[in-house]
Amino acid sequence: MLFRLLPLIALMSVGACSDTTSAPTEVTAPDRPVEPRTPVNPEAEISPAAEEPATSDEKTSEYWGVAPGEPLPITWQDLLPEGAIETYFEQQDQFYAELENKMNSGAKRLSDIEPGLGIEEGSELDVMPQFGTFETVDDLAGQLVRIPGYVVPFNFASDDQYTEFLFVPYMGACLHTPPPPPNQVIYVRAARDTKITDIWIPYWLEGDIQIERNMNDLGNAAYTLDLVSLEPYPVPG
């Protein structure tokens, strides 16, 4: 889950110092009698000081450390709601258990089960589903975010210009099965052609993220992002 950070409030204490080396001050009795002070009523209500309204210059981002207009840096973990990881592995375990039962359904004895039995290409068992769910972190909707990852184009254009593509957490995802869960896939749409010459390097992706599904053959996405910028992620040489 993505937790919003609260700004830290510094508490300052002011101490008064006295000069212990100076001579004591002589106190002179007053020329007129001093009127007694009115005793303080401890139950009397003390009115708080009026607060000065905040000016427009004092506005801050709802996320600590992020100035207004700056993108919110997030990780792929931030896209997963609570319990999403557990659901993913439960679905995966169930799928492989059912697949094993189907592969061995024709066996009448243990010796009939061939170790390392493969799946014939194009058969009814040659299917790999996309595990996971479309559950999202709704607090991210409408946020300007910045996240590192990899580009997966829907097709390979000869001029390397794209107006839509998928963005995923690891290299080669969706090009090989199984794809990441839907809430780990971002469908990116660009207002104009974006040149991407190398899909095997990581990138910084920046844009406005929305809770909007995109269904496609490579990998269904639970998030959609309107592209602001895409730049190579600096990798140490």
Q: How far is CA 152 from CA 102, 180, 225, in A?
A: 33, 12, 14
User: Could you tell me if 185 and 219 are in contact, meaning their C-beta atoms sit under 8 angstroms apart?
Assistant: yes
pLDDT of residue 95: 81
pTM, full prediction: 0.65
pLDDT at 12: 33
For residue 19, CA distances in Å to 13, 14, 123 come to: 20, 17, 93
Q: Which sequence spans correspond to the domains of the chain? A: 76-105+123-232
Kindly give the confidence (pLDDT) of every residue in the chain, 237 residues in length, as a single tens digit, with 9 standing for 90 and above: 443 333 333 333 333 334 444 444 343 444 444 445 444 454 444 444 444 444 444 445 677 788 988 999 999 999 999 999 899 889 888 887 887 777 666 544 444 445 545 545 454 544 568 999 999 999 999 999 999 999 999 999 899 999 999 999 999 887 776 789 999 999 999 999 999 999 999 999 999 999 999 999 999 999 999 999 999 999 887
Report the pLDDT value the prediction gives residue 65, as an integer from 0 to 100.
83
* Superfamily for the 76-105+123-232 domain: Protein of unknown function (DUF3299) (2.40.50.870)
**Total residues found in the chain within this entry:** 237
φ, ψ dihedrals at 178, nearest 5°: -85, 155
Is the preceding omega at residue 179 within 30 degrees of 0, hence cis? no
Instruction: Give the residue from 234, 232, 140, 143 showing the smallest Cα distance to 195.
Output: 232
